[in-house]
Chains A and B, each alone.
Chain A
Amino acid sequence: MMDLVMTERHHGPEPSTQGLIDLTTTAPVARDLGQWEQALALVALSRDKHAYQELFGYFAPRLRAFGIKMFGNEQQALEMVQDTLLNVWQKAALFDPSRGCASTWIFTIARNVRFDMLRKKQSRKDDISADDLWADGDYPEAEDHQTQKWELWLITEKLAPHFAALPPAQRLVMEKVYLEEMSHQEVSELLGIPLGTVKSRIRLALDRLREALDESER
């Protein structure tokens, strides 16, 4: 396998779209688009067990099949499934729908878990780990990032009614940021309030939405 790759010569930059077109046209049709992204959002937002069950029920058997293909045995495959889906449960808040699909995110977690399992088996886990090889560049933990991803969630049916019930000052800021897509700085200037106040109102509103959603789930 390696030999085939090795002897391949390397030319200058390839026409930038050549590979892209092939890949995207073979992608499955966009049925259920958004379903898994929403489920992840609900898990992150309110530890929504129902949403997690949907994710688990769909991905667990598929990850198991993937793992058996990779490891050649069920025991390790299931270990990989468990570790991957535990990560999905615990780190759902790190998923950012603006940077890729839920399926991509879950696939990359599974790949990294598998890589580290194999290295551990060779007692080489500390040498080079998945963290070194696959940057989380797709999911930077920048300050504003935490709030950006709410954009998608706000338009989901579950959140919309609670959005309307926010205190007016918070709702105004939320509308400017999430519906009119203004930056925090722009909102600060428009409303004549400090930047810090914009940010704190957003945090408060998000907290309130989280609570409202928790209660509506009960």
Chain B
Amino acid sequence: MNQSVNHHPSISLLELYCDGNLSAEVALLIATHLDYCPHCQQLRHDIEADLGAQLVAAPSGEVHSTDWLEMMNNIMAAPQLPPAKPAEQAESNISIGGYQFDLPRSLRRVASKRSKWLSMGGIATARLPSGEPHHASLLFIDKHTDVPLHTHHGLEMTLVLSGEMVDEHGRYVPGDLIINSPDDTHKPRNVSDEPCLCLSVLSAPLQFKEGLTRWLNPLQRFFY
């Protein structure tokens, strides 16, 4: 699919990412977006260059000569060559619903630590290692499948990894980042003939708004 990424993180979100000040789960989402988006990758380089320049330009503060000398000598006593990297047990693709998906670099190691897939209708989810207050998971939406209408207390961030999906606001292709605030009620759908795989980060459980699903606690647990 040759469609370019259209929905990007804001500059301020990229800055927090470069600074290392995002929670790990949200940072993972941004890192994955960068794997798809040369435009934001370039911005990342520029922001990091700026942060590096700030470090150089910062005042040195007080002098602590004695501590420093010992630390420096310890370091220079260490061998210079880095130890060989341990073999990565990463997977470069993942199978679900009878399909196989390539994984972007940022998710390869983390995805190998996912929990079991839970399936319901044409939807499946597998939790990635993540902790309070965020929750990261892989979300599979089969072709011609709707995700029930829902809203959320917290924030819902979704990144399309493969395939495409639509909601009330637009159409999303791989690399597109969708951020829904607590005020948004929306209903993502996969109306295409291809299966869709997403990375989803939630900061609070979803609440389902429609018909029966409203009463179905299991569905809520399913997504969170």
Residue B181 at the chain A interface, CB threshold 8 Å: yes
| A-side contacts of B71, CB under 8 Å | 60, 78, 81-82, 85
Residue B43 at the chain A interface, CB threshold 8 Å = yes
Given that A5-B10, A65-B58 are contacting pairs, would A128 and B50 also be in contact in the complex, using a CB cutoff of 8 Å?
A: no
Q: Given A6-B181, A90-B81, answer yes or no on A13-B109 (Cβ-Cβ < 8 Å).
A: no
Cα-based distance from A130 to B24 in the complex (angstroms)? 9
The answer to whether B24 and A23 touch across the interface, beta carbons within 8 angstroms, is no
Residues of B within 8 A of A8 (CB): 10, 12-13, 179
A133 B31 Cβ-Cβ under 8 A:
yes
Q: Is the CB of A122 within 8 A of B131?
A: yes
Mark A76-108 against chain B: 1 for CB-CB distance below 8 A, else 0: 001001100110011111100000111111111
Mark interface residues in A47-69 (1 if CB within 8 Å of B CB, else 0): 10100110011111111111000
Let me know if B39 and A82 touch, CB within 8 A: no
Decide if B212 is an interface residue (CB 8 Å cutoff).
no
On whether the beta carbons of B60 and A61 are closer than 8 Å, the reply is yes
B147 contacts A by Cβ under 8 Å: no
Residue B121 CB within 8 A of the other chain: no
Chain B interface residue number, banded: 35 or more
Of B18, B46, B52, the residue contacting A105 (CB under 8 A) is B52
B90 to chain A, nearest CB (A): 10
Instruction: Give 1 or 0 for each of A137-173: 1 = CB within 8 Å of chain B CB.
Output: 1100000000000000000000000000000000000
Report B23-51 CB contacts with A as 1/0, cut-off 8 Å: 11111100100110001011101111111
Closest chain-A Cβ to B10's Cβ sits at a distance in Å of 5
- Report chain A residues within 8 Å CB of B59: 62, 65
In the complex with contacts A8-B10, A65-B58, A127-B130, A132-B106 CB distance below 8 A: yes
Ranked nearest first, the 10 interchain pairs of A and B with the lowest CB-CB distance are: A104-B52, A103-B52, A127-B129, A107-B52, A61-B60, A128-B24, A111-B20, A28-B57, A103-B56, A133-B31
Interface residues of B (CB under 8 A from A): 4-13, 16-21, 23-28, 31, 34-35, 39, 41-43, 45-53, 55-64, 67-68, 71-72, 74-76, 78-82, 105-107, 109-110, 113, 129-131, 155, 177-179, 181
